[in-house]
Structure 1
Amino acid sequence: MTRFNGKVALVTGSSNGIGRAAAILFAQEGAKVTITGRNVQRLEETKQEILKSGVPEDHVLAVACDLTSEQGQDELINSTIAKFGRLDILVNNAGTAFVDSQGKTGLNQDVSDYDNVMQINMRSVVTLTKKAKEHLIKSKGEIVNVSSIAAGPQAHSDMMYYAMSKASLDQFTRCAAIDLIQHGVRVNSVSPGGVTTGIGEAMGLPAGAFEKMMKFMESHKECLPCGKIAEPVDIAHIIAFLADRRLSSYIIGQSIVADGGSSLVMGCQAHDMMKMMSSP
Protein backbone atom coordinates (compact mmCIF):
# COMPACT_ATOMS: atom_id res chain seq x y z
CA MET A 1 0.00 0.00 0.00
CA THR A 2 1.35 3.42 -0.97
CA ARG A 3 -1.39 5.92 -0.11
CA PHE A 4 1.15 8.22 1.58
CA ASN A 5 3.68 8.22 -1.27
CA GLY A 6 5.40 11.61 -1.47
CA LYS A 7 4.25 12.58 2.03
CA VAL A 8 6.41 13.31 5.06
CA ALA A 9 5.12 12.42 8.51
CA LEU A 10 6.55 13.49 11.87
CA VAL A 11 5.39 11.31 14.75
CA THR A 12 6.26 12.35 18.29
CA GLY A 13 6.67 9.78 21.03
CA SER A 14 7.52 7.17 18.43
CA SER A 15 10.04 5.22 20.47
CA ASN A 16 7.27 2.86 21.62
CA GLY A 17 3.53 2.25 21.82
CA ILE A 18 1.06 4.09 19.61
CA GLY A 19 3.71 6.40 18.18
CA ARG A 20 5.90 3.50 17.10
CA ALA A 21 2.96 1.69 15.51
CA ALA A 22 1.88 4.86 13.67
CA ALA A 23 5.39 5.57 12.36
CA ILE A 24 5.76 2.02 11.10
CA LEU A 25 2.35 2.16 9.38
CA PHE A 26 3.05 5.49 7.67
CA ALA A 27 6.41 4.23 6.43
CA GLN A 28 4.94 0.96 5.18
CA GLU A 29 2.33 2.93 3.25
CA GLY A 30 4.85 5.10 1.44
CA ALA A 31 5.57 8.08 3.68
CA LYS A 32 8.98 9.31 4.71
CA VAL A 33 8.95 9.53 8.49
CA THR A 34 10.67 11.39 11.28
CA ILE A 35 10.62 9.42 14.51
CA THR A 36 11.51 10.96 17.83
CA GLY A 37 11.78 10.24 21.54
CA ARG A 38 14.20 10.62 24.42
CA ASN A 39 15.20 6.96 24.67
CA VAL A 40 17.87 6.41 22.00
CA GLN A 41 17.76 2.61 22.25
CA ARG A 42 14.00 2.39 21.85
CA LEU A 43 14.09 4.90 19.02
CA GLU A 44 16.60 2.68 17.22
CA GLU A 45 14.27 -0.29 17.79
CA THR A 46 11.49 1.64 16.05
CA LYS A 47 13.81 2.43 13.13
CA GLN A 48 14.83 -1.20 12.77
CA GLU A 49 11.19 -2.33 12.80
CA ILE A 50 10.50 0.10 9.96
CA LEU A 51 13.50 -1.09 7.95
CA LYS A 52 12.53 -4.75 8.45
CA SER A 53 9.40 -4.12 6.41
CA GLY A 54 11.46 -3.15 3.37
CA VAL A 55 11.38 0.63 3.78
CA PRO A 56 14.53 2.34 2.40
CA GLU A 57 16.80 3.69 5.13
CA ASP A 58 16.78 7.17 3.64
CA HIS A 59 13.02 7.31 4.25
CA VAL A 60 13.56 7.33 8.02
CA LEU A 61 14.97 10.11 10.19
CA ALA A 62 15.50 9.41 13.89
CA VAL A 63 15.87 12.44 16.15
CA ALA A 64 16.50 11.86 19.85
CA CYS A 65 15.49 15.01 21.70
CA ASP A 66 13.57 16.48 24.62
CA LEU A 67 10.24 17.53 23.16
CA THR A 68 9.56 19.89 26.06
CA SER A 69 12.52 22.12 25.13
CA GLU A 70 12.46 24.81 22.46
CA GLN A 71 15.88 23.63 21.28
CA GLY A 72 14.66 20.05 20.91
CA GLN A 73 11.61 21.13 18.94
CA ASP A 74 13.66 23.36 16.65
CA GLU A 75 16.03 20.47 15.96
CA LEU A 76 13.09 18.20 15.19
CA ILE A 77 11.42 20.53 12.69
CA ASN A 78 14.62 21.84 11.10
CA SER A 79 16.18 18.41 10.60
CA THR A 80 12.95 17.08 9.07
CA ILE A 81 12.81 19.92 6.55
CA ALA A 82 16.56 19.67 5.87
CA LYS A 83 16.34 15.95 5.07
CA PHE A 84 12.93 15.63 3.40
CA GLY A 85 12.21 19.18 2.20
CA ARG A 86 8.62 19.28 3.45
CA LEU A 87 6.17 18.27 6.16
CA ASP A 88 2.71 16.91 5.41
CA ILE A 89 1.58 15.13 8.57
CA LEU A 90 2.21 15.99 12.21
CA VAL A 91 1.16 13.42 14.80
CA ASN A 92 1.25 14.87 18.31
CA ASN A 93 1.40 11.58 20.18
CA ALA A 94 3.98 12.13 22.93
CA GLY A 95 2.35 12.26 26.34
CA THR A 96 2.43 10.78 29.80
CA ALA A 97 1.05 10.82 33.31
CA PHE A 98 2.79 10.75 36.67
CA VAL A 99 1.97 8.63 39.69
CA ASP A 100 3.05 9.98 43.05
CA SER A 101 5.84 7.94 44.63
CA GLN A 102 3.71 7.61 47.77
CA GLY A 103 0.61 6.55 45.84
CA LYS A 104 -1.17 9.90 46.24
CA THR A 105 -3.89 10.68 43.71
CA GLY A 106 -6.30 13.50 42.92
CA LEU A 107 -5.80 16.73 44.84
CA ASN A 108 -3.39 14.98 47.19
CA GLN A 109 -0.89 14.75 44.36
CA ASP A 110 1.76 17.48 44.31
CA VAL A 111 1.10 20.37 41.94
CA SER A 112 4.56 19.82 40.42
CA ASP A 113 3.08 16.70 38.80
CA TYR A 114 0.42 18.93 37.25
CA ASP A 115 3.11 21.25 35.87
CA ASN A 116 5.06 18.34 34.38
CA VAL A 117 2.02 16.71 32.80
CA MET A 118 0.81 19.96 31.24
CA GLN A 119 4.32 20.70 29.97
CA ILE A 120 4.50 17.41 28.08
CA ASN A 121 0.88 16.73 27.17
CA MET A 122 -0.23 20.25 26.29
CA ARG A 123 2.40 22.97 26.07
CA SER A 124 4.76 20.96 23.89
CA VAL A 125 1.88 20.20 21.52
CA VAL A 126 1.05 23.89 21.17
CA THR A 127 4.63 25.01 20.62
CA LEU A 128 5.52 22.19 18.20
CA THR A 129 2.35 22.86 16.20
CA LYS A 130 3.27 26.54 16.00
CA LYS A 131 6.72 25.63 14.69
CA ALA A 132 5.28 23.19 12.14
CA LYS A 133 2.48 25.51 11.01
CA GLU A 134 4.24 27.25 8.10
CA HIS A 135 5.36 23.94 6.61
CA LEU A 136 1.93 22.34 6.96
CA ILE A 137 0.29 25.34 5.31
CA LYS A 138 2.64 24.95 2.34
CA SER A 139 1.69 21.29 1.95
CA LYS A 140 -2.01 21.70 2.91
CA GLY A 141 -1.24 19.06 5.50
CA GLU A 142 -2.79 17.22 8.41
CA ILE A 143 -2.42 17.27 12.20
CA VAL A 144 -3.55 14.34 14.32
CA ASN A 145 -3.44 14.71 18.09
CA VAL A 146 -3.56 11.70 20.40
CA SER A 147 -5.90 12.44 23.27
CA SER A 148 -7.69 10.04 25.65
CA ILE A 149 -11.15 9.12 26.88
CA ALA A 150 -9.85 10.47 30.21
CA ALA A 151 -10.70 13.90 28.77
CA GLY A 152 -14.28 13.35 29.89
CA PRO A 153 -17.06 14.08 30.39
CA GLN A 154 -16.71 11.55 33.20
CA ALA A 155 -14.50 12.47 36.15
CA HIS A 156 -11.12 10.75 36.54
CA SER A 157 -10.17 11.66 40.08
CA ASP A 158 -7.34 9.10 40.27
CA MET A 159 -5.62 10.66 37.26
CA MET A 160 -6.89 14.21 37.64
CA TYR A 161 -3.95 16.09 36.11
CA TYR A 162 -3.67 13.71 33.16
CA ALA A 163 -7.40 14.00 32.48
CA MET A 164 -7.19 17.80 32.64
CA SER A 165 -4.34 17.85 30.13
CA LYS A 166 -6.28 15.70 27.66
CA ALA A 167 -9.44 17.79 28.05
CA SER A 168 -7.30 20.80 27.23
CA LEU A 169 -5.87 18.98 24.21
CA ASP A 170 -9.38 18.29 22.91
CA GLN A 171 -10.22 21.98 23.07
CA PHE A 172 -6.92 22.82 21.36
CA THR A 173 -7.86 20.39 18.58
CA ARG A 174 -11.18 22.15 18.04
CA CYS A 175 -9.73 25.66 18.13
CA ALA A 176 -6.69 24.86 15.99
CA ALA A 177 -8.93 23.12 13.45
CA ILE A 178 -10.94 26.29 12.85
CA ASP A 179 -7.81 28.44 12.91
CA LEU A 180 -5.97 26.33 10.32
CA ILE A 181 -8.68 25.06 7.97
CA GLN A 182 -8.75 28.49 6.34
CA HIS A 183 -5.19 27.66 5.22
CA GLY A 184 -6.12 24.17 4.06
CA VAL A 185 -4.73 22.35 7.10
CA ARG A 186 -6.95 19.82 8.88
CA VAL A 187 -6.68 19.10 12.62
CA ASN A 188 -8.33 16.10 14.29
CA SER A 189 -7.62 13.71 17.13
CA VAL A 190 -8.13 10.18 18.38
CA SER A 191 -9.16 9.36 21.95
CA PRO A 192 -8.03 5.84 22.93
CA GLY A 193 -9.15 3.90 25.95
CA GLY A 194 -6.92 1.15 27.32
CA VAL A 195 -3.96 0.31 25.08
CA THR A 196 -0.99 -1.99 25.72
CA THR A 197 1.86 0.53 25.60
CA GLY A 198 4.96 1.31 27.65
CA ILE A 199 3.29 4.23 29.43
CA GLY A 200 3.35 2.41 32.78
CA GLU A 201 7.12 2.71 33.08
CA ALA A 202 7.02 6.35 31.95
CA MET A 203 4.46 7.07 34.66
CA GLY A 204 6.79 5.65 37.29
CA LEU A 205 4.60 2.64 38.06
CA PRO A 206 6.12 -0.54 39.53
CA ALA A 207 6.98 -3.19 36.94
CA GLY A 208 3.86 -5.03 35.82
CA ALA A 209 1.40 -2.68 37.56
CA PHE A 210 -0.01 -1.18 34.37
CA GLU A 211 -0.39 -4.63 32.84
CA LYS A 212 -2.34 -5.77 35.91
CA MET A 213 -4.71 -2.86 35.49
CA MET A 214 -5.26 -3.74 31.83
CA LYS A 215 -5.99 -7.37 32.71
CA PHE A 216 -8.42 -6.23 35.40
CA MET A 217 -10.28 -4.14 32.83
CA GLU A 218 -10.40 -6.99 30.33
CA SER A 219 -12.01 -9.27 32.91
CA HIS A 220 -14.66 -6.74 33.98
CA LYS A 221 -17.27 -5.88 31.36
CA GLU A 222 -18.30 -2.77 33.24
CA CYS A 223 -14.80 -1.51 32.49
CA LEU A 224 -14.32 -2.85 28.98
CA PRO A 225 -17.42 -4.21 27.21
CA CYS A 226 -15.49 -5.73 24.29
CA GLY A 227 -13.28 -7.66 26.71
CA LYS A 228 -9.99 -6.89 24.95
CA ILE A 229 -7.41 -4.16 25.45
CA ALA A 230 -6.35 -2.45 22.21
CA GLU A 231 -2.98 -2.96 20.58
CA PRO A 232 -1.07 0.15 19.45
CA VAL A 233 -1.64 -0.69 15.79
CA ASP A 234 -5.41 -0.47 16.36
CA ILE A 235 -5.00 3.21 17.18
CA ALA A 236 -2.37 3.71 14.47
CA HIS A 237 -4.91 2.73 11.81
CA ILE A 238 -7.26 5.47 13.05
CA ILE A 239 -4.41 8.01 12.99
CA ALA A 240 -3.67 7.01 9.39
CA PHE A 241 -7.36 7.34 8.51
CA LEU A 242 -7.46 10.88 9.89
CA ALA A 243 -4.25 11.74 8.00
CA ASP A 244 -5.68 10.40 4.73
CA ARG A 245 -7.52 13.28 3.10
CA ARG A 246 -9.06 11.01 0.49
CA LEU A 247 -10.88 9.08 3.21
CA SER A 248 -11.53 11.72 5.88
CA SER A 249 -11.55 15.07 4.10
CA TYR A 250 -14.79 16.28 5.68
CA ILE A 251 -13.77 15.51 9.26
CA ILE A 252 -12.49 18.70 10.86
CA GLY A 253 -11.76 19.33 14.55
CA GLN A 254 -13.20 16.04 15.75
CA SER A 255 -11.98 13.28 18.03
CA ILE A 256 -12.64 9.64 17.20
CA VAL A 257 -13.15 7.58 20.35
CA ALA A 258 -11.52 4.14 20.20
CA ASP A 259 -12.07 2.42 23.54
CA GLY A 260 -13.86 -0.89 23.09
CA GLY A 261 -17.02 0.63 24.52
CA SER A 262 -15.53 1.78 27.84
CA SER A 263 -16.82 5.35 27.67
CA LEU A 264 -20.37 4.10 27.16
CA VAL A 265 -20.39 2.49 30.59
CA MET A 266 -17.33 3.82 32.47
CA GLY A 267 -17.65 1.19 35.18
CA CYS A 268 -13.92 1.36 35.78
CA GLN A 269 -14.59 4.61 37.62
CA ALA A 270 -16.22 2.59 40.40
CA HIS A 271 -12.93 0.78 41.07
CA ASP A 272 -9.87 2.06 42.90
CA MET A 273 -7.02 2.44 40.41
CA MET A 274 -4.30 1.54 42.91
CA LYS A 275 -6.15 -1.67 43.85
CA MET A 276 -6.56 -2.52 40.16
CA MET A 277 -2.80 -2.28 39.67
CA SER A 278 -2.04 -4.47 42.66
CA SER A 279 -4.64 -7.15 41.94
CA PRO A 280 -3.39 -10.74 41.51
Structure 2
Amino acid sequence: MSETAEFQPPIDEQPRMPGSEEQMADKPDWTPRYRGSGRLEGKVAIVTGGDSGIGRAVAVLFAREGADITLVYLADEETPDAERTKALVEQEGRQALCLKGDLGRQDFAKEVVSKTIDTFGKLDILVNNAGEQHPDDEIEDITEQQLRRTFQTNIFSMFFLAQAARPYLRRGSAIVNCTSVTMYKGSDNLLDYSATKGAITAFTRSLSENLVKEGIRVNAVAPGPIWTPLNPFGGQPPEDMKDFGKGTPMGRPGQPNEVAPAFLFLACEDSSYMSGQVLHPNGGIVVSG
Protein backbone atom coordinates (compact mmCIF):
# COMPACT_ATOMS: atom_id res chain seq x y z
CA MET A 1 0.00 0.00 0.00
CA SER A 2 1.48 3.34 -1.02
CA GLU A 3 2.03 6.22 1.39
CA THR A 4 -1.00 8.18 0.16
CA ALA A 5 -4.48 9.02 1.38
CA GLU A 6 -5.25 5.30 1.02
CA PHE A 7 -3.56 4.76 4.38
CA GLN A 8 -5.33 5.97 7.52
CA PRO A 9 -2.83 6.81 10.29
CA PRO A 10 -3.66 6.09 13.94
CA ILE A 11 -6.58 8.01 15.40
CA ASP A 12 -5.49 10.95 17.55
CA GLU A 13 -7.06 9.86 20.83
CA GLN A 14 -5.96 9.59 24.43
CA PRO A 15 -4.98 7.21 25.82
CA ARG A 16 -3.18 5.99 22.72
CA MET A 17 -3.55 2.40 21.63
CA PRO A 18 -2.30 -0.26 21.79
CA GLY A 19 -1.09 0.56 25.30
CA SER A 20 1.54 -1.17 27.37
CA GLU A 21 1.19 -4.29 29.48
CA GLU A 22 4.14 -3.15 31.58
CA GLN A 23 2.21 -0.02 32.57
CA MET A 24 -0.80 -1.95 33.87
CA ALA A 25 -1.07 -2.22 37.65
CA ASP A 26 -3.02 -5.45 37.36
CA LYS A 27 -0.90 -7.45 34.93
CA PRO A 28 -2.57 -9.94 32.57
CA ASP A 29 -1.67 -13.59 33.11
CA TRP A 30 0.14 -14.92 30.04
CA THR A 31 1.94 -17.84 31.71
CA PRO A 32 1.33 -21.22 30.03
CA ARG A 33 -0.50 -23.58 32.37
CA TYR A 34 1.19 -26.83 31.40
CA ARG A 35 4.43 -28.30 30.14
CA GLY A 36 5.06 -28.41 26.41
CA SER A 37 4.62 -31.62 24.46
CA GLY A 38 6.31 -30.72 21.16
CA ARG A 39 3.08 -30.08 19.28
CA LEU A 40 4.74 -27.33 17.22
CA GLU A 41 8.25 -28.74 17.18
CA GLY A 42 10.29 -27.21 14.35
CA LYS A 43 7.47 -24.89 13.24
CA VAL A 44 7.70 -21.17 12.49
CA ALA A 45 4.83 -18.85 13.39
CA ILE A 46 4.01 -15.21 12.79
CA VAL A 47 1.98 -13.73 15.67
CA THR A 48 0.58 -10.24 15.14
CA GLY A 49 -0.14 -8.10 18.14
CA GLY A 50 2.49 -10.36 19.64
CA ASP A 51 4.04 -8.05 22.19
CA SER A 52 1.32 -8.19 24.86
CA GLY A 53 -2.07 -9.57 25.86
CA ILE A 54 -3.37 -12.52 23.89
CA GLY A 55 -0.49 -12.23 21.43
CA ARG A 56 2.12 -12.58 24.17
CA ALA A 57 0.33 -15.59 25.66
CA VAL A 58 0.09 -17.24 22.23
CA ALA A 59 3.74 -16.54 21.41
CA VAL A 60 5.07 -17.98 24.67
CA LEU A 61 2.80 -21.02 24.49
CA PHE A 62 3.79 -21.69 20.87
CA ALA A 63 7.46 -21.39 21.87
CA ARG A 64 6.93 -23.84 24.71
CA GLU A 65 5.51 -26.24 22.12
CA GLY A 66 8.61 -25.88 19.93
CA ALA A 67 7.95 -23.00 17.50
CA ASP A 68 10.17 -20.08 16.55
CA ILE A 69 8.19 -16.84 16.51
CA THR A 70 8.02 -13.61 14.54
CA LEU A 71 6.46 -11.04 16.89
CA VAL A 72 4.72 -8.22 15.04
CA TYR A 73 3.60 -5.20 17.04
CA LEU A 74 2.60 -1.55 16.82
CA ALA A 75 3.83 1.10 19.25
CA ASP A 76 3.94 4.87 19.00
CA GLU A 77 7.01 4.89 21.19
CA GLU A 78 9.41 2.35 22.54
CA THR A 79 7.89 0.14 25.23
CA PRO A 80 9.40 -2.84 27.00
CA ASP A 81 6.54 -5.15 25.99
CA ALA A 82 8.04 -6.52 22.78
CA GLU A 83 11.50 -7.09 24.24
CA ARG A 84 9.93 -8.74 27.27
CA THR A 85 7.96 -11.13 25.07
CA LYS A 86 11.07 -11.83 22.99
CA ALA A 87 12.93 -12.75 26.18
CA LEU A 88 10.09 -15.02 27.29
CA VAL A 89 10.15 -16.86 23.95
CA GLU A 90 13.91 -17.27 24.24
CA GLN A 91 13.54 -18.60 27.80
CA GLU A 92 11.51 -21.41 26.24
CA GLY A 93 14.53 -22.25 24.09
CA ARG A 94 13.18 -20.81 20.84
CA GLN A 95 14.09 -17.86 18.63
CA ALA A 96 12.07 -14.65 18.35
CA LEU A 97 12.17 -11.98 15.65
CA CYS A 98 10.58 -8.63 16.63
CA LEU A 99 9.14 -6.45 13.85
CA LYS A 100 7.58 -3.09 14.63
CA GLY A 101 5.20 -1.49 12.17
CA ASP A 102 1.64 -0.91 10.98
CA LEU A 103 0.04 -3.90 9.28
CA GLY A 104 -2.46 -1.58 7.62
CA ARG A 105 0.38 -0.93 5.17
CA GLN A 106 0.58 -3.70 2.62
CA ASP A 107 4.29 -3.14 2.14
CA PHE A 108 4.91 -3.79 5.85
CA ALA A 109 2.88 -7.01 5.71
CA LYS A 110 5.08 -8.16 2.84
CA GLU A 111 8.16 -7.17 4.84
CA VAL A 112 6.99 -9.24 7.82
CA VAL A 113 6.74 -12.36 5.69
CA SER A 114 9.97 -11.78 3.77
CA LYS A 115 11.98 -11.16 6.96
CA THR A 116 10.46 -14.26 8.53
CA ILE A 117 11.57 -16.34 5.56
CA ASP A 118 15.01 -14.71 5.56
CA THR A 119 15.44 -15.43 9.28
CA PHE A 120 13.87 -18.85 9.71
CA GLY A 121 13.72 -20.23 6.16
CA LYS A 122 10.02 -21.09 6.20
CA LEU A 123 6.57 -20.24 7.52
CA ASP A 124 4.10 -22.75 8.95
CA ILE A 125 1.57 -20.78 11.01
CA LEU A 126 0.02 -17.34 10.66
CA VAL A 127 -1.80 -15.95 13.70
CA ASN A 128 -3.75 -12.80 12.82
CA ASN A 129 -4.36 -11.39 16.29
CA ALA A 130 -3.69 -7.62 15.96
CA GLY A 131 -6.70 -5.36 16.34
CA GLU A 132 -8.03 -2.09 17.67
CA GLN A 133 -11.36 -0.71 18.88
CA HIS A 134 -12.80 2.71 19.65
CA PRO A 135 -15.99 2.91 21.73
CA ASP A 136 -18.77 5.28 20.65
CA ASP A 137 -22.30 5.44 22.05
CA GLU A 138 -23.81 6.91 18.87
CA ILE A 139 -23.24 5.83 15.29
CA GLU A 140 -22.99 9.50 14.30
CA ASP A 141 -19.89 9.79 16.48
CA ILE A 142 -17.91 7.32 14.35
CA THR A 143 -15.82 9.44 12.02
CA GLU A 144 -14.82 8.36 8.55
CA GLN A 145 -11.20 8.30 9.73
CA GLN A 146 -12.04 5.99 12.63
CA LEU A 147 -14.12 3.71 10.41
CA ARG A 148 -11.34 3.41 7.86
CA ARG A 149 -8.71 2.92 10.57
CA THR A 150 -10.63 0.15 12.34
CA PHE A 151 -11.26 -1.80 9.14
CA GLN A 152 -7.68 -1.20 7.98
CA THR A 153 -6.18 -2.62 11.17
CA ASN A 154 -8.65 -5.41 11.87
CA ILE A 155 -9.42 -6.93 8.47
CA PHE A 156 -7.26 -5.34 5.75
CA SER A 157 -4.15 -6.47 7.64
CA MET A 158 -5.37 -10.07 7.55
CA PHE A 159 -5.82 -9.93 3.79
CA PHE A 160 -2.39 -8.35 3.33
CA LEU A 161 -0.63 -10.94 5.50
CA ALA A 162 -2.50 -13.91 4.02
CA GLN A 163 -1.62 -12.69 0.53
CA ALA A 164 2.04 -12.27 1.44
CA ALA A 165 2.21 -15.61 3.27
CA ARG A 166 0.36 -17.72 0.69
CA PRO A 167 3.40 -18.58 -1.51
CA TYR A 168 5.17 -20.06 1.53
CA LEU A 169 2.30 -22.01 3.06
CA ARG A 170 2.07 -25.68 2.22
CA ARG A 171 0.11 -28.78 3.19
CA GLY A 172 -0.08 -28.88 6.98
CA SER A 173 0.14 -25.10 7.42
CA ALA A 174 -2.45 -23.24 9.46
CA ILE A 175 -3.93 -19.76 9.67
CA VAL A 176 -5.70 -18.72 12.89
CA ASN A 177 -7.62 -15.45 12.94
CA CYS A 178 -8.90 -13.56 15.97
CA THR A 179 -12.57 -12.58 15.71
CA SER A 180 -14.72 -11.72 18.76
CA VAL A 181 -17.83 -12.56 20.73
CA THR A 182 -19.13 -9.17 19.55
CA MET A 183 -19.52 -10.66 16.07
CA TYR A 184 -22.16 -13.02 17.48
CA LYS A 185 -23.98 -10.98 20.11
CA GLY A 186 -23.27 -7.44 18.93
CA SER A 187 -22.04 -4.46 20.94
CA ASP A 188 -23.95 -1.22 21.36
CA ASN A 189 -20.81 0.92 21.66
CA LEU A 190 -18.42 -0.96 19.34
CA LEU A 191 -20.31 -0.80 16.06
CA ASP A 192 -17.34 -0.48 13.71
CA TYR A 193 -15.25 -2.99 15.66
CA SER A 194 -18.07 -5.56 15.70
CA ALA A 195 -18.54 -5.09 11.96
CA THR A 196 -14.87 -5.89 11.35
CA LYS A 197 -15.19 -9.02 13.46
CA GLY A 198 -18.10 -10.16 11.32
CA ALA A 199 -15.90 -9.60 8.29
CA ILE A 200 -13.12 -11.64 9.92
CA THR A 201 -15.43 -14.59 10.52
CA ALA A 202 -16.65 -14.49 6.92
CA PHE A 203 -13.04 -14.15 5.72
CA THR A 204 -12.04 -17.16 7.83
CA ARG A 205 -14.77 -19.37 6.40
CA SER A 206 -14.19 -18.22 2.83
CA LEU A 207 -10.39 -18.51 2.97
CA SER A 208 -10.84 -21.98 4.42
CA GLU A 209 -12.92 -22.97 1.40
CA ASN A 210 -10.26 -21.46 -0.83
CA LEU A 211 -7.30 -23.28 0.74
CA VAL A 212 -8.61 -26.49 2.25
CA LYS A 213 -7.96 -28.58 -0.86
CA GLU A 214 -4.32 -27.48 -0.62
CA GLY A 215 -4.12 -28.95 2.88
CA ILE A 216 -3.97 -25.50 4.53
CA ARG A 217 -6.44 -25.06 7.38
CA VAL A 218 -8.00 -21.72 8.32
CA ASN A 219 -9.86 -21.29 11.62
CA ALA A 220 -10.60 -18.56 14.14
CA VAL A 221 -10.94 -17.82 17.85
CA ALA A 222 -13.70 -15.53 19.17
CA PRO A 223 -12.68 -14.36 22.65
CA GLY A 224 -15.04 -12.74 25.08
CA PRO A 225 -13.83 -9.94 27.38
CA ILE A 226 -10.14 -10.65 28.02
CA TRP A 227 -7.88 -8.67 30.36
CA THR A 228 -5.33 -7.12 27.98
CA PRO A 229 -3.95 -3.58 27.43
CA LEU A 230 -6.50 -3.01 24.64
CA ASN A 231 -9.39 -2.14 26.94
CA PRO A 232 -7.85 0.07 29.66
CA PHE A 233 -5.85 1.96 27.02
CA GLY A 234 -8.87 3.31 25.17
CA GLY A 235 -10.77 0.23 24.02
CA GLN A 236 -13.47 0.79 26.63
CA PRO A 237 -14.75 3.95 28.36
CA PRO A 238 -12.84 4.42 31.64
CA GLU A 239 -16.06 4.37 33.65
CA ASP A 240 -16.86 0.86 32.33
CA MET A 241 -13.56 -0.71 33.33
CA LYS A 242 -14.56 -1.44 36.95
CA ASP A 243 -17.22 -3.86 35.64
CA PHE A 244 -15.23 -5.20 32.70
CA GLY A 245 -16.11 -8.85 32.10
CA LYS A 246 -18.59 -9.09 34.97
CA GLY A 247 -21.48 -9.50 32.57
CA THR A 248 -20.31 -12.95 31.47
CA PRO A 249 -21.87 -16.05 33.06
CA MET A 250 -18.54 -16.62 34.83
CA GLY A 251 -18.73 -13.07 36.21
CA ARG A 252 -15.17 -12.04 35.32
CA PRO A 253 -12.91 -11.24 32.39
CA GLY A 254 -10.73 -13.98 30.97
CA GLN A 255 -6.95 -14.02 31.09
CA PRO A 256 -4.76 -14.31 27.98
CA ASN A 257 -3.51 -17.74 29.05
CA GLU A 258 -7.13 -18.95 29.03
CA VAL A 259 -7.39 -18.03 25.35
CA ALA A 260 -3.98 -19.04 24.00
CA PRO A 261 -4.67 -22.81 24.14
CA ALA A 262 -7.50 -22.34 21.63
CA PHE A 263 -4.98 -20.82 19.19
CA LEU A 264 -2.58 -23.68 19.86
CA PHE A 265 -5.25 -26.31 19.24
CA LEU A 266 -6.14 -24.77 15.88
CA ALA A 267 -2.49 -24.34 14.89
CA CYS A 268 -1.39 -27.92 15.60
CA GLU A 269 -2.34 -31.33 14.28
CA ASP A 270 -4.78 -31.91 17.14
CA SER A 271 -7.32 -30.04 14.98
CA SER A 272 -6.38 -31.74 11.71
CA TYR A 273 -10.05 -32.37 10.81
CA MET A 274 -11.16 -28.78 11.45
CA SER A 275 -11.21 -25.87 9.03
CA GLY A 276 -13.50 -22.88 8.69
CA GLN A 277 -14.45 -23.17 12.37
CA VAL A 278 -14.52 -20.77 15.33
CA LEU A 279 -13.71 -21.53 18.98
CA HIS A 280 -15.34 -19.51 21.77
CA PRO A 281 -13.34 -18.87 24.98
CA ASN A 282 -15.80 -16.29 26.26
CA GLY A 283 -16.68 -16.96 29.90
CA GLY A 284 -19.76 -19.05 29.18
CA ILE A 285 -21.62 -16.79 26.75
CA VAL A 286 -23.72 -19.09 24.55
CA VAL A 287 -23.58 -18.11 20.87
CA SER A 288 -24.48 -19.85 17.63
CA GLY A 289 -22.09 -20.41 14.74
Cross-structure match for 2:107: 71
1:21-32 → structure 2 map (5 Å cutoff): 21-32=57-68
Cross-structure match for 1:129: 162
Cross-structure match for 2:147: 114
Cross-structure match for 2:277: 254
- Per the TM alignment, residue 127 of structure 1 is displaced from its structure 2 partner at its CA by 1.2
TM-score (norm 2): 0.81
Query: Unaligned stretches of 5+ in structure 2?
Result: 1-35
Moved more, 172-181 or 110-119: 110-119
1:20 has 2:44 as partner: no
Query: Would the alpha carbon gap of residues 46 and 105 (structure 1) be closer, same or farther in structure 2, given more than 3 Å must change?
Result: farther
Runs of 4+ displaced beyond 4 Å: none
- SS of the aligned residue for 1:144 comes to strand
1:141 has 2:173 as partner: yes
CA distance in 2, matches of 1:157, 1:227: 20
The amino acid that maps onto 1:19 is G
Say if 1:98 and 1:204, in contact at 8 Å, map to a contact too.
yes
CA distance in 2, matches of 1:136, 1:213: 42
The amino acid that maps onto 1:192 is P
CA distance in 2, matches of 1:180, 1:81: 21
CA distance in 1, matches of 2:163, 2:251: 39
Query: Would the alpha carbon gap of residues 110 and 185 (structure 1) be closer, same or farther in structure 2, given more than 3 Å must change?
Result: same
- SS of the aligned residue for 1:148 comes to coil
The amino acid that maps onto 1:142 is A
- Per the TM alignment, residue 200 of structure 1 is displaced from its structure 2 partner at its CA by 2.2
Moved more, 230-239 or 61-70: 61-70
Say if 2:110 and 2:160, in contact at 8 Å, map to a contact too.
no
Query: Unaligned stretches of 5+ in structure 1?
Result: 266-280
1:4-50 CA-to-partner distances (Å, cap 9, x unmatched) read 11100100001111011100111111101110102342211211222
Query: Would the alpha carbon gap of residues 110 and 34 (structure 1) be closer, same or farther in structure 2, given more than 3 Å must change?
Result: same
The amino acid that maps onto 2:218 is V
- Per the TM alignment, residue 54 of structure 1 is displaced from its structure 2 partner at its CA by 3.7
Identity of aligned residues (%): 33
The amino acid that maps onto 2:130 is A
Say if 1:106 and 1:159, in contact at 8 Å, map to a contact too.
no
- Per the TM alignment, residue 209 of structure 1 is displaced from its structure 2 partner at its CA by 4.9
1:146-225 → structure 2 map (5 Å cutoff): 146-152=178-184, 154-203=185-234, 209=239, 211-214=241-244, 217-218=245-246, 223-225=247-249
1:154-203 CA-to-partner distances (Å, cap 9, x unmatched) read 33221110000000100000000010011110000010001000102553
TM-score (norm 1): 0.83
Say if 2:150 and 2:192, in contact at 8 Å, map to a contact too.
yes
Query: Would the alpha carbon gap of residues 201 and 229 (structure 1) be closer, same or farther in structure 2, given more than 3 Å must change?
Result: closer
Say if 1:200 and 1:210, in contact at 8 Å, map to a contact too.
no
- Per the TM alignment, residue 68 of structure 1 is displaced from its structure 2 partner at its CA by 1.1
1:247-277 CA-to-partner distances (Å, cap 9, x unmatched) read 1111110111111112459xxxxxxxxxxxx
